[in-house]
Structure formats: C-alpha cells, structure tokens
C-alpha cells in the first residue's frame, strides 16, 4: 500500500527504528525493494529521484514505483530525492509521490530557508511531506568516490531552519558522504544527538554506505528515522549482471531474476538492521574500496 504522511517516520522514531529509503533506477530495483519489504513485513521507501530519471525518464519510473507501492502488502512510500528544482517537485507531487526532498544545502542559509519554505507550502497543501537538507554532504549519490566529509550541520541553525521552513524531516550532515569511499567515514553521534534534541522531529541519514550495522543502530538510537540506501543495491545489481555475463549468459529474464534476487537480499538485510535488531557497538565502519 502507498504510505502517505510523515507518520511513516514518526512511528519509526517512536519505536526506536528507522525506515530505509532505497534508490531505484530500474524496474528490477523497484521489484527488489518491494519484495524485501514484503518478505520482512517492514515498511520501506522507494526513492525515485532526480538522478534516477536520467536513464528511463520521470513518468515511466514514477509510474512503476507508484504501482508497485500500491500493490504491496506493506506500507511503502515513494520519494523524490535530492531535487533542487521546485518545478520538478511540483510535477512529481502531481504524479502521486508521497514525499519529496528539496535540497537547498548548497545555497546560503537564507536562500535555503526561502526555497524550502516555498516547497513546504506547496507540498503540504497537497498532503505530501517534505525533507530538507542543511549542511555540506559531499560525494556522489550515483557513484563511489574518494570524498571526505564536508561542513557539518550546526544544531542551533538546524532548529532555526526547521522552525522557519516547517519542513517535516531534516537531512543533517554528521560526518558521512555519498557513496562508497576508500576512506572510512564515521557518524558524529554527539552532534547527531544535539541536532535531534534541538529539532525534535525526524532526522535523515544520507551517505550511510560502508557503515557497520552497529554504527547504524547507534545513529538510529541518536535520532535517525530514515536512512538512504543506494550504493549497496547498485553494487549488488551490477555484480549480479557481471557474474551472469561472465558465465556466458545472454538470457535477459534470467539475468534480471538474479539481479532482483541479489538486490532483495541486500534490502532485506538493511530493513532488518534498521528495524532494531542490530545493537549499537563501537565497531568502526567497513572500509570499502571502489
């Protein structure tokens, strides 16, 4: 069922868990996300965002994601990730998205506030919740890199940002970067706790690739209610295709089946970890080479 309303995140926060938002680029990844959610009985979010549209186009990808979510037996949201364009956001809301992200993080603070507030007003009038971003999250959402953590989010400024914009969820920069990196990243848990105390509402963790389940659990305990997942599914998809092609396979449905199975396994593991079964520990994040 298509999940509407910020309760998807507030319920997770109240129950000490987080909802994973999995990026989709293809019908295979959309199917894997839904199968994993149904197999575990846990809610999830399909993130069909700006960068994903480059391959197959906005309307076809959105239609597949919305149809899959509507047909699922568990709550699944459909989210527009990292959009900087209010026109694109309005178009996705019109298509039926349950949530959108306006990313003004590269703008001066006052410009970010104004842009985010305008999107919130438009989205809320149509029953759609909004994620905003404050701070400098580096890296590439669609590819691995050697990025280092950028400017971290200030707790006091985060509280002002949420108050002035009315945004429902906040993506905060707390030490992670987008994509796998050759340099290990860590979550600044003290800063995250301070932001959570100042903001009060759901927080979102971007750039969680390579973090151990223990560090993810610690981030959830510190206030994270939504975790973006991209690189792990992308790697599983590509590895499955490479393995099939290396074996001489040219049966496309057969290759698709193995790609879906590989991504489903990864998505199930993330759903289970973020549901609270992993306990916080002091293990460092995994270092993953490109």
Closest CA to 141 of 208, 215, 217, 90: 208
Q: Among this protein's residues, is 81 annotated catalytic? A: yes
Rounded CA Rg of the chain? 18
Element (H, E) at 71: helix 58-71
Q: Would residue 87 be called left, alpha or beta, if left means φ above 0 and alpha means ψ between -120 and 50 degrees?
A: alpha
What are the tokens at 122?
Answer: 């438009």
What are the tokens at 256?
Answer: 């698709």
- Three-class SS of residue 216? helix
What are the tokens at 96?
Answer: 């039926």
Q: How many angstroms separate the CA atoms of 125 and 119, rounded?
A: 10
Q: How far is CA 200 from the centre of its chain?
A: 20
Q: Are 137 and 171 in contact (CB under 8 A)?
A: yes
- Three-class SS of residue 100? strand
Any idea which residues carry the catalytic annotation? Answer: 81
């Amino acid at each position: 069922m298509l999940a509407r309303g910020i309760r998807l995140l507030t319920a997770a926060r109240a129950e000490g868990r987080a909802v994973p938002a999995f990026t989709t680029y293809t019908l295979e990844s959309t199917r894997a996300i839904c199968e994993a959610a149904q197999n575990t009985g846990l809610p999830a979010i399909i993130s069909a965002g700006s960068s994903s549209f480059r391959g197959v186009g906005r309307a076809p990808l959105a239609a597949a994601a919305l149809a899959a979510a509507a047909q699922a037996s568990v709550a699944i949201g459909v989210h527009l990730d990292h959009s900087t364009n209010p026109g694109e956001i309005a178009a996705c809301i019109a298509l039926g998205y349950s949530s959108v992200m306006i990313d003004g993080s590269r703008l001066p603070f006052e410009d970010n506030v104004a842009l985010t507030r305008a999107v919130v007003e438009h989205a809320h009038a149509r029953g759609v919740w909004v994620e905003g971003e404050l701070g400098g999250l580096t890296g590439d959402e669609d590819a691995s890199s050697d990025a280092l953590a950028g400017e971290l989010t200030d707790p006091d400024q985060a509280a002002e940002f949420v108050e002035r914009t009315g945004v429902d969820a906040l993506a905060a920069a707390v030490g992670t970067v987008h994509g796998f990196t050759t340099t290990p990243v860590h979550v600044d848990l003290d800063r995250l706790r301070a932001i959570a105390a100042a903001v009060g509402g759901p927080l979102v963790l971007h750039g969680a690739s390579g973090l151990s389940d223990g560090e993810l659990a610690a981030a959830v305990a510190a206030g994270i209610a939504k975790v973006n997942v991209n690189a792990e599914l992308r790697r599983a998809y590509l590895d499955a295709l490479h393995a099939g092609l290396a074996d001489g396979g040219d049966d496309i449905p057969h290759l698709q089946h193995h790609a879906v199975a590989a991504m489903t396994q990864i998505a199930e593991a993330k759903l289970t970890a973020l549901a609270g079964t992993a306990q916080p520990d002091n293990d460092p994040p995994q270092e993953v080479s490109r």
